[in-house]
Amino acid sequence: MKKYLYLTFILALAGAWENFDSPKKSFVDVRGIDTSVKPGDNFFRYVNGRWYDTARIADDQTGVGSYSFMNIPQKELLQHILDSVSKNSHPIGSIDQKVGDFYASGMDTITINRRGYEPIQPTLKRIDAIGDVPSLLKFVAVEMKTGNRSIIGFGISPDDKNSRINIAHIYQTGIGLPDRDYYFKTDSSTLRIQQAYKKYLGNLFTLTGSDRATAEKNATIVYDIEKQIAASHKTNIELRDVKANYNKTAIALLNQTQPNIGWRALLANLDAKTDSIDVGQPAYYGKLNELLGSISIHDWKIYLKAGTLKTYADALSKPFTDASFEFAKVMSGQTVQKSRRQVMTQNVDGLLGQALGQLYVKRYFNEDAKKRVLALVNNLQKSFENRINHLDWMSDSTKQKAKEKLYAITKKIGYPDKWRNYDKVQIDRTKYFENLLSLGRNQYQFQLARLNKPVDRTEWGTTPSTVTAYYNPAFNEIVFPAGILQFPYFDFAADDAINYGGIGMVIGHEMTHAFDDQGAQYDKDGNVKNWWTKEDYDKFKAKTKMVVDLYSSFTVLDNVHVKGALTLGENTADNGGIAIAYDAFKMTKQGQGNEMIDGFTPDQRFFLSIARIWRVKTRDAFMLTYVNTNPHSPAIWRVNGPLMSFAPFYKAFNVQPGDKNYKPDDQRIKIW
């Protein structure tokens, strides 16, 4: 699911990148509309078809267009900042020094290539020294403190039953492919990915001195261990079950039932003092305890070496980054590696994101945007309340609880009120790998400091420059970073139809997440707690079943279907977001009028804007992985899916029976 700036330069940059319409700011790409397509047959193609057929995906990218792909020009803005700060000296310990020197250390490919895999040789030697299961688990714990994660998934976040306190959570992990199904499916594309992954593992062992036969044998050992682990994993759809993935358990019991893991010693080595822990997926840790007893230490050491090599491959010399990319391009279809500037910009944003974010907002943030968007948020809140009041399937008591939750939502716009402190991070301009360890260590300690402490609800889960938005159920908050506040989502000069169809739809989408299949299980304070009557919740589930069934009927890449159960939450939010945004738009002067702009009515412009914000084109390999693993539907169905259930769209574009996307009234999605 973005950016808060309004500069002619930036809009020009976006225009050059995506061939936007003329600079006169009509905001509707009139020339791009494909009049050969009926709006009721395929509205995505009607609005975006000409662009889609001519848009070129850069060789070093997996897609082009709006939404997450707007982060491509965003990264160019960040590169300008990084190029500038890295060329000058700054006071030691300052934000500019840390950001600039980390970027410079990663750009020094001469030194990185000269070092080869020397930076991880001490780690590989520590693996060689492992002699039993306890020493293996100690290695795992120590490595986690600098970011080298393997068989233990560990994190600190709010307790689902008491969102005021942060507790320890453990979750399934341990595999190298995107999810469990990649180890068991036998279609040709999955088999090709399996073979590419095994080849990648073998190449990593070859690069660290193994002969080809030994490397291939080691790759097979690693893959077989991962496949056994994967068998215990829940599917991505099963992971959506909020209550089934909360299992708070006493450490004493875990220590007794899983002696091979040895939870007391493991947590001590993690410096994590707690008497209980939330076990997200118990079957995984039961299986891990078993495998630690049945798989030889020799094979586990090979597995840990492979994990270490995968973790750090992109931080080592060119042969390692090349090997990593050879596998990545099978998954994504990307044919050329990103430039080093792109890679390092992404790394700085990911590891020093709020430091870089401070430099970003100083240069590009327009404070007036925050006020304007907050006003839109408030209008959509009123719109949502009105829709709740008029629901014909919900009782008054549940409506009251829903409205209490709606108005308890925290709104975060632009950037954090309190920036993250990186004082403990040590950055050396000449030591890229050591900088990564320092940042990994700092991240772990930052997380560990939360354990058993009150939740800090001022924290952000994304960087200010990122083109995204999100709802966090534990915080009951909606977050719109500076990055999303630009065209096509938001523009000061745009009419309300454009902004309500753009950022308004996104705001409505995020609000609806508070009431989707997962969000609806959290109360206004962020606790997993039932606030529904049984009858109302049964009706709600029946309506969400319609969403699952409808979206499961949609196809991508010929015969590949959207996973309706996996994408349920996002599809519910898309349907709700459009309805809420439209109602809020109808409260504006333009929404109540009939003035034509660019030959379109206000309502038509609203829907054109919605189709425009999902203008995306991707590589087929990327899309295949996306459909298998991503909880969002492909862009075309984020447009056509909700609109085929929305009566005002039918009226605006005269959609009639016989049109391909026409749905009879009783088959339309009507939840919020």
Report pLDDT digits (tens) over 432-447.
999 999 999 999 999 9
pLDDT level of residue 1 (50, 70, 90 thresholds) = very low
What is d(CA 294, CA 17) in angstroms, rounded to the nearest whole number?
A: 54
What is d(CA 571, CA 455) in angstroms, rounded to the nearest whole number?
A: 30
Residue 656 has pLDDT above 60, yes or no: yes
Q: Mind listing the pLDDT tens digit for each residue in 589-602? A: 999 999 999 999 99
What is d(CA 52, CA 634) in angstroms, rounded to the nearest whole number?
A: 14
Residue 639 has pLDDT above 50, yes or no: yes
pLDDT level of residue 481 (50, 70, 90 thresholds) = very high
CB 492 within 8 A of CB 509: no
Residue 8 has pLDDT above 60, yes or no: no
pLDDT for the residue 571: 98
CB 412 within 8 A of CB 475: no
Q: What is the mean pLDDT of residues 443-456?
A: 98
Residue 2 has pLDDT above 70, yes or no: no
pLDDT for the residue 26: 75
Residue 241 has pLDDT above 50, yes or no: yes
CB 628 within 8 A of CB 48: no
Question: Alpha-carbon dihedral of residues 496, 631, 349, 428, nearest 10 degrees?
Answer: 170
CB 491 within 8 A of CB 424: no
Q: Mind listing the pLDDT tens digit for each residue in 261-310? A: 999 999 999 999 999 999 999 999 999 999 999 999 999 999 999 999 99
Within 13 Å and on the Cβ side, how many CA atoms surround 26?
Answer: 15
Share of the chain above pLDDT 90, in %: 93
CB 92 within 8 A of CB 371: no
Three-state DSSP at 154 gives strand
What is d(CA 277, CA 594) in angstroms, rounded to the nearest whole number?
A: 59
φ, ψ of residue 162 to 5 degrees: the values are -150, 85
Query: For the chain, how far is it from start to end, CA to CA, in angstroms?
Result: 20
pLDDT for the residue 25: 58
Share of the chain above pLDDT 70, in %: 96
pLDDT for the residue 558: 84
pLDDT for the residue 367: 87
Averaged confidence pLDDT in the chain: 94
Q: What is the mean pLDDT of residues 317-328?
A: 98
Residue 127 has pLDDT above 60, yes or no: yes
Residue 14 has pLDDT above 50, yes or no: no
- Looking at 169-317, list the stretches that DSSP marks H as alpha helix, in order from N- to C-terminal side: 188-207, 212-230, 251-257, 263-269, 282-294, 297-312
* Domain spans of the chain, in order of start: 8-74+365-410+489-667, 122-316
Kindly report the number of other CB atoms within 10 A of residue 168's CB atom.
25
Residue 16 has pLDDT above 90, yes or no: no
Residue 100 has pLDDT above 50, yes or no: yes
One fold for 8-74+365-410+489-667 and 122-316: no
φ, ψ of residue 425 to 5 degrees: the values are -85, 130
What is d(CA 369, CA 464) in angstroms, rounded to the nearest whole number?
A: 14
CATH number of 8-74+365-410+489-667: 3.40.390.10
What is d(CA 551, CA 574) in angstroms, rounded to the nearest whole number?
A: 12
Angle between helices 353-364 and 340-351 (to 10 degrees): 100
Residue 3 has pLDDT above 60, yes or no: no
Q: Mind listing the pLDDT tens digit for each residue in 346-366? A: 999 999 999 999 999 999 988
- What tokens were used for 72? 């491509």
Q: What is the mean pLDDT of residues 188-208?
A: 98
φ, ψ of residue 478 to 5 degrees: the values are -115, 140
Q: Mind listing the pLDDT tens digit for each residue in 49-59? A: 999 999 999 99
Q: Mind listing the pLDDT tens digit for each residue in 359-392? A: 999 999 888 888 999 999 999 999 999 999 999 9
Give bridge partners of residue 98 from the DSSP assignment. Answer: none
255-289: buried (b, 16+ CB within 10 Å) or exposed (e) per residue? beebeebbbeebbebbebeeebbbbbbbebbebbb
How far is CA 336 from each of CA 61, 177, 178, 503, 540, rounded to the nearest angstrom?
8, 21, 21, 33, 46
φ, ψ of residue 367 to 5 degrees: the values are -60, -30
Residue 17 has pLDDT above 90, yes or no: no
pLDDT for the residue 151: 98
Minimum mean pLDDT range among 159-168, 175-184, 363-372, 564-573: 363-372
CATH class for the region spanning 122-316: mainly alpha
Residue 260 has pLDDT above 90, yes or no: yes
Q: What is the mean pLDDT of residues 531-545?
A: 97
Q: Mind listing the pLDDT tens digit for each residue in 202-232? A: 999 999 999 999 999 999 999 999 999 999 9
